[in-house]
Amino acid sequence: MTHHQPRIDTSPKVSDEIRKTTCYMCACRCGINVHMREGKVAYIEGNRDHPVNQGVLCAKGSAGIMQHNAPSRLRSPLKRVGPRGSGEFEEISWDEALKIATGWLAPLREKDPSKLAFFTGRDQSQSFTSFFAQNFGTPNYAAHGGFCSVNMAAAGIYTMGGAFWEFGQPDWDHTKLFMLFGVAEDHDSNPIKMGLGKIKARGARVIGVNPIRSGYNAIADDWVGITPGTDGLFILSLIHELLRAGKIDLDYLARFTNAPVLINGAEGPEKGLFLRDENDKPLVIDRKTGKPAAFDQKGVRPDLGASYEKDGVTHITVMQMLAERYMDPQYSPDAVAETCGITAAKIRTIAAEIARVAFDEAFELDHEWTDFRGETHKTMTGRPVSFHAMRGISAHSNGFQTCRSLHLLQILLGTVEVPGGFRFKPPYPKPVRAHPAPHCGVTPGKPLDGPHLGYVQGPDDLCLKEDGSPARIDKAYTWENPMSAHGLMHMVISNAHAGDPYKIDTLFMYMANMSWNSSMNVGGVQKMLTDKDESGDYVIPRIIYSDAYSSEMVAYADLILPDTTYLERHDCISLLDRPICEADAAADAIRWPVVEPDRDVRGFQSALCDLGARLGLPGFVNEDGTQKYADYADYITNHQRKPGIGPLAGWRGEDGESHGRGAPNSDQIDRYIENGGFFVNHIPEGANYYKPWNAAYQDWAVGMGLYDSPQPYLFELYVETMQKFRLAADGHGERQPPEHLRDRIRRTLDPMPVWYAPFEDDVVDTEEFPVHALTQRPMAMYHSWGSQNAWLRQIHGHNPLYVPTKIWQANGFAEGDWAEVTSAHGKITVPVAHMAALNENTVWTWNAIGKRKGAWALDKDAPEATKGFLLNHLIHELLPPKGDGLRWANSDPVTGQAAWFDLRVKITRADPPPAESQPSQPPIKSPVGQGPDELRWEVGK
């Protein structure tokens, strides 16, 4: 009898069509192929042609199908009918919803636009939402950066014209030593994973600096389990060792940084400011002539060690000041080891390894290039050491100076914008002067007098009213946090509730879960959102909220504008905003509706186009008053920020053959769709390194519309802007800080990187609260919207508190135990788990896993609500009182970034353990109800 093999279809038909778009499950913005079957989403895979991920897709991206089908999706506009916080709504039409919004907002615009506070969360359309707010005329706009990583971005811009992550990346092809500082797994995860695989395959070393050894740090060749908040001191100790050993790139420092710039050393209003020529250009001493010269003068060779007398005042170089400061014994490994939790020997070993790779393994590329002084170089020098850092070192009250310290380290080594080092992604690098200053000029019935956010150049750029009070509700750009480039979203609700600096009428938020995981002081914020005044009216009179899902924040709004999922919308990942560029190319991308919504929802940006027209905002109506942009796709195609420059760089001009600059093209979005949803324009060879000083790159950037003219500049080892604020604190200048802030400004706004202990250490008893408490975001989740995803929940259904061996044994913990964790602000009771690879005085957990009962269409007994929890209950937006009668913001004093990671706690065993995590709040009523127990279907059947 003949044996017959069974017939198995090894290539079953997955789909009848593939639609290419951009993922939205984290901020990587990877390219995806969405497989469609009978008009429905069947499967999502990576796009192998995409410049970001080259086909790689993580669990989040693959699970996008469950995000699209989530039971928690909002279904129609909603109007609150019960008390705020009750979750009681009635469904209304879009026309009624927009009429309500218009009725609330139009009177504000005509009388006082600042009565609107418009803040957005982790959306990726901030150039558009800021455009709406600017045309409305309110100064009160910002996005989530103030509580995420503004320290990283602002420190990078002020120091070198760009920063990590979306601003730049390591030279994965040439680096031989890669150091990560404070990087969790959620940010830029696919490109980093691909890069780590590439460099480890050829034997490059990876050093992870993080109190927690998970994710990238788990595969590092060397893990440095640093004490939280001390990274800056550790970095300055590395600098100390490199200076002592002479292992710095003097030629690089002389040519490309302000190390040779002359500084006024005399007491008085000019102390610490640069010596400048009649064109306001900083002066250096030319080694050939021995005379002062503008830094960018053709043929000048700056002298790092010069001094110069003018009008009886001695001027010395930045380099001399820098060497004197960091060679001081206070930065020696022996002096910092105990504070950092790292042995002095370890610090010396790492410094020696960095120096060895940077200088002993230096190499040359045969690429001729011409610098901004007109000098032609036959080769490019490679220094194969690169760094990457994120929120872990940013979210501290000393985070700005810590981030600056890291930038200083890589600049001293000469590893920025060179082969093997850190490389900028277009549209960066950009000097500070290429960015606007913040604007706050309010005129009833008119747009704001300029962009909300920007980079101050001194006290004159602060957002203050004539009486010196803050012009913005979040107090951004004030003496409390003068360089707050992203605003202070975490302070908006508490300031509005307190009426400090003034009362608002309407709080309008998008994708900002401010009643839960995006807020410090969760219970307090919920009370502020529901609190009423003596007359029985809500203290914050009106709240409009937009989201795609029934999050915890929905219950606290008066009007809900339901957003689409990312597969149902147009989006623009723009060079005007947060593009998908790589170091060798400018690139941007779109999303487009690969499926149409089956609910009465609209993309938020399209809803704003309608709302803006109803309000008659100048940017949203034609001269005859008719609506200018039918929807967001129309805006993306036809809006011009300035002549020839629009949201998308590709296929511009009437024929679609222009890139970067050109008139709008009606077929532009179709061209993107045909190309897989993205556009790429590669930087010419020879222009792709030394970007800030490379004449060929500067010319290419002008052609692409990144600059209007070449913008060469020097890296700022010494930030003169910060010295201007210190001079004001010393009594110089017309704008003066309040008395109680003078000492803090002098101490924290040092123009060269400095380290000071996190503020919470100064205001709590560190013997009573000896343990540091941190959160990280896991690779399989991205903020709160991922942890309601049916597939991803199976990876992270709840989050224990991870406890190091020393604390575990001291408390007699066993698996299955619970702990009481107490801070100066509150207490939580949570499940614990043992983790050995952890700084011995640190506990941590995954962020945004814990859910409030009733939210996200989850069962009230879902593990996220019974065993999941937030550390946010332990954190306050204000620091504990310190006896001076003031309550200081729990923020970085330079930028105002929320200091999430300064938290100090004590921990004890909970006996008996509770039935569920505490605090346990009452369930909230969800307008979408509870989802089914199982989500099961098969596309095509």
Does residue 940 have a pLDDT over 70? no
Question: How far does CA 440 lie from the centroid of its chain?
Answer: 23
Distance CA 895, CA 238 (A): 25
What is the model's pLDDT at position 724? 98
Does residue 934 have a pLDDT over 90? no
Distance CA 554, CA 77 (A): 11
Note the pTM of the prediction, 2 decimals: 0.97
What is the model's pLDDT at position 194? 93
Confidence of residue 145 (pLDDT cuts 50, 70, 90): confident
What are the pLDDT digits (tens) for 683-699? 999 999 999 999 999 99
Ranking 139-143, 207-211, 629-633, 887-891 by mean pLDDT, the lowest is 887-891
Which of 236, 241, 244, 410 shows the shortest CA–CA distance to 339? 236
Q: Give the β-pairing of 369-370 and 376-377.
A: antiparallel
Q: Are 795 and 837 in contact (CB under 8 A)?
A: no
Confidence of residue 409 (pLDDT cuts 50, 70, 90): very high
Average confidence score pLDDT of the chain: 95
Does residue 362 have a pLDDT over 60? yes
What are the pLDDT digits (tens) for 428-473? 999 999 999 999 999 999 999 999 999 999 999 999 999 999 999 9
AA letter at 840: E
Does residue 820 have a pLDDT over 80? yes
**Which ranges constitute the DSSP H helices of 119-223?**
126-136, 150-160, 189-201
Query: What share of the chain in percent tops pLDDT 70?
Result: 99
User: What's the rounded mean pLDDT across residues 803-816?
Assistant: 97
Cα torsion angle, 18, 21, 24, 30, sign:
positive
Which of 868, 869, 873 shows the shortest CA–CA distance to 903? 873
Distance CA 69, CA 885 (A): 52
Distance CA 833, CA 804 (A): 9
User: What's the rounded mean pLDDT across residues 412-427?
Assistant: 97
Distance CA 512, CA 526 (A): 14
Compute the chain's Rg from CA coordinates: 27
The strands making up 571-573's β-sheet, listed across from edge to edge, are: 571-573, 585-591, 678-682
Does residue 480 sit in helix, strand or coil?
A: coil
Q: Are 154 and 485 in contact (CB under 8 A)?
A: yes
- Dihedral in degrees, nearest 10, Cα atoms 538, 540, 545, 550: -50
What is the model's pLDDT at position 69? 93
Name the one residue in this structure whose structure tokens are 């127990």: 933
CA dist list (Å): 421 to 182, 205, 385, 409, 929? 19, 14, 5, 12, 52
Q: How wide is the angle at C-alpha 642 spanned by C-alphas 637 and 647, nearest 5°?
A: 35
Q: Are 617 and 203 in contact (CB under 8 A)?
A: no
- Dihedral in degrees, nearest 10, Cα atoms 169, 844, 775, 519: -170
Does residue 1 have a pLDDT over 60? no
User: What's the rounded mean pLDDT across residues 480-487?
Assistant: 96
Tokens (6 digits) for 307: 């001094």
As a whole number of angstroms, the longest Cα–Cα distance in the chain is 110
Confidence of residue 8 (pLDDT cuts 50, 70, 90): confident
Tokens (6 digits) for 43: 């499967």
Confidence of residue 885 (pLDDT cuts 50, 70, 90): low
Ranking 141-155, 707-721, 750-764 by mean pLDDT, the lowest is 141-155
What is the model's pLDDT at position 5? 76
What is the model's pLDDT at position 11? 78
What is the model's pLDDT at position 884? 67
More confident position, 648 or 12: 648
What is the model's pLDDT at position 345? 98
What is the model's pLDDT at position 488? 95
- Which residues face 91 on adjacent strands? 78
What is the model's pLDDT at position 2? 66
CA dist list (Å): 380 to 220, 584, 685? 29, 15, 12
**Which ranges constitute the DSSP H helices of 499-559?**
522-530
Ranking 78-87, 188-197, 369-378 by mean pLDDT, the lowest is 188-197
User: What's the rounded mean pLDDT across residues 591-596?
Assistant: 97
Q: Are 759 and 899 in contact (CB under 8 A)?
A: yes
Confidence of residue 941 (pLDDT cuts 50, 70, 90): low
User: What's the rounded mean pLDDT across residues 84-88?
Assistant: 95
At residue 830, φ and ψ (nearest 5 deg) are -145, 160
Does residue 852 sit in helix, strand or coil?
A: coil
